[in-house]
Amino acid sequence: MKKSSLVVLLALSFALPGRAQEVNPLFASKNSIHLKASGSIKAIKKNTNDSTYSSGKFLYEKESGQWIELETEARVRGNFRLKNCYFPPLKLKFKKKEVLNTPFEGNKSVKLVLPCEKQSTMNRLVAREYVCYQFYEVITPYHFKTRLVNLELTEMSGRKPRVFDLLGFLVEDNSKVADRSQGKIIEMKGLNPAAFDARQTVRNDYFQYMIGNADWSAVYQHNSNILFAEGKYMPLPYDFDMAGIVNASYAQSNPPSLGTGDVRQRVYRGFCKEESVMQEIRQEYLQREQDFYKLIDQQSALLKDTDTQDMHNYVEEFYEILKSDQLFKRSILEGCRTN
């Protein structure tokens, strides 16, 4: 069932990037996309769900300054942000014929991540979460591609329009990751942890530990998909706003079973693997330490100096553990899960 409660007008200004191998042109560039939208946030939250979309229009600006209008559909997605945030994350769906010969060609849908609340400070939290996606690109080729957006949103549900300047980012559909990987997404909650590829699993486990994220489960597909490629089951993580490195004011406390309610305090939630594999991936991370600091610095224009320094410090704390045999043994080798 479709509802027209929200009319979405998105105005895009972009430089068409060169086509990277197996990467859709929309996600082949790190340049941000400038957007404009208008509509009722209240209406789309009320009238859409996982199966109900709202019809709208999508405009993008070509390099020549020409404006092209596309029809699209939008719906809310997620659970926590939908219930607790003013701006819900959205899923945008396109008709194939509408996006032919446009930068969106080949994308049936994309996710749009927005700030949680109306305060301008929330934009910095989006930037911090975006950096987490950039981290994972360094770690493994099996990841979600993202693209920053600057969104001028005109809220139409009040007595008079209100304009918000929001930072957000697009996330490619999981089917595109499967296409790039020549694999497929598996819907199978409760997959035995031993069925996952050991190296890809440990890479993900260390990543989640590095960013201080406990709000995930590869086995039960909580903020994680399962990708089957090259004959292997691999975790495909997303949604990192509850991570300690993001330090969101709205983040939920960790459950008591983890031993700490503080989202900034790391808890290793990976399952135990052969020590040789865990040591191998440890060395991979040690070699890439400077890459993570560079990725933080690349987004410094979107952050305050205090944000940049805090993220540096948080990653450095992870590397203090990784560089110490004693801390690594206590926190990871002896802290991993056996059941």
Region of poorest pLDDT, from 9-13, 37-41, 47-51, 213-217: 9-13
pLDDT of 255 over the 90 cut: no
Tell me how far CA of residue 144 lies from CA of 133, 173, 227, 270, in angstroms: 7, 8, 11, 21
The pLDDT, as a whole number, for residue 70 is 77
The pLDDT, as a whole number, for residue 283 is 98
Q: Is residue 339 part of a domain?
A: no
State whether 235 and 167 are in the same domain: no
State whether 186 and 53 are in the same domain: no
State whether 145 and 9 are in the same domain: yes
How would residue 50 be classed by pLDDT, with cut points 50, 70 and 90?
confident
Q: Is residue 338 part of a domain?
A: no
Domain stops at, among 120, 149, 176:
176
The pLDDT, as a whole number, for residue 165 is 94
How would residue 308 be classed by pLDDT, with cut points 50, 70 and 90?
very high
Mean pLDDT to the nearest integer, 102-121? 90
State whether 148 and 197 are in the same domain: no
State whether 126 and 207 are in the same domain: no
Range of the domain at 22: 2-176
Number of domains in the chain: 2
Sorted by sequence, the CB contacts under 8 Å of residue 133 that are 6+ apart come out as 143, 144, 146, 169, 171, 238, 240
Neighbours of 303 (CB within 10 A): 20
Tell me how far CA of residue 288 lies from CA of 138, 139, 145, 207, 326, in angstroms: 8, 8, 20, 12, 21
CB 98 within 8 A of CB 72: yes
State whether 156 and 255 are in the same domain: no
Mean pLDDT to the nearest integer, 223-251? 96
Percent of the chain with pLDDT over 90: 64
Domain stops at, among 176, 197, 229:
176
- Mean pLDDT, the chain, rounded, equals 89
The pLDDT, as a whole number, for residue 10 is 44
- Residue that wins the pLDDT comparison between 204 and 160: 204
State whether 156 and 189 are in the same domain: no
State whether 193 and 153 are in the same domain: no
Domain stops at, among 156, 176, 196:
176
